[in-house]
Chains A and B, each alone.
Chain A
Amino acid sequence: EVQLVESGGGLVQPGGSLRLSCAASGFTFSTYFMHWVRQAPGKGLVWVSRINSDGSKTNYADSVMGRFTISRDSAKNTLYLQMNSLRVEDTAVYYCVRDNNFKIDYWGQGTLVTVSS
Chain B
Amino acid sequence: QSALTQPASVSGSPGQSITISCTGTSSDVGGYNYVSWYQQHPGKGPKLMIYDVSNRPSGVSDRFTGSKSGNTASLTISRLQAEDEADYYCNSYTPSITLPFVFGTGTRVTVL
Q: Name the A residues within 8 Å of B93 (CB-CB).
A: 102-103
The total of interchain contacts (Cβ-Cβ below 8 angstroms) comes to: 61
Query: Would B103 and A59 count as touching, CB distance under 8 A?
Result: no
Q: How large is the interface on A (under 10, 10 to 19, 20 to 34, 35 or more residues)?
A: 20 to 34
Q: Name the B residues within 8 Å of A62 (CB-CB).
A: 98
Q: How many residues of B are counted as interface, with CB atoms below 8 angstroms from the partner's CB atoms?
A: 26
Beyond A102-B34, A102-B93, A103-B34, is A45–B100 a contact (Cβ under 8 Å)?
A: no
Give B57's nearest chain A residue, CB to CB: A105
Interface string of A84-117 (1 = CB under 8 A from B): 0000000000010000001111111110000000
Interface residues of A in 41-55 (CB under 8 A from B): 44-47, 50
Interface string of A26-37 (1 = CB under 8 A from B): 000000000101
Query: Would B101 and A35 count as touching, CB distance under 8 A?
Result: yes
Q: How far is the CA of A73 from the CA of B47 in the complex (A)?
A: 25
Give A33's nearest chain B residue, CB to CB: B100
Q: Name the B residues within 8 Å of A95 (CB-CB).
A: 45-46
A61 within 8 A of B: yes
Query: Would A60 and B48 count as touching, CB distance under 8 A?
Result: no
Q: How far is the CA of A45 from the CA of B51 in the complex (A)?
A: 17
Write 24 A-B pairs (CB below 8 A) sorted by A numbering.
A35-B100, A44-B3, A44-B103, A44-B106, A45-B89, A47-B99, A47-B100, A47-B101, A47-B102, A47-B103, A50-B100, A60-B98, A62-B98, A95-B45, A95-B46, A102-B52, A103-B93, A104-B36, A104-B38, A104-B48, A104-B91, A105-B51, A107-B38, A108-B45
Closest 4 interchain pairs by CB? A107-B45, A102-B34, A45-B103, A102-B93
- Chain A residues within 8 Å of B, Cβ to Cβ: 35, 37, 44-47, 50, 59-62, 65, 95, 102-110
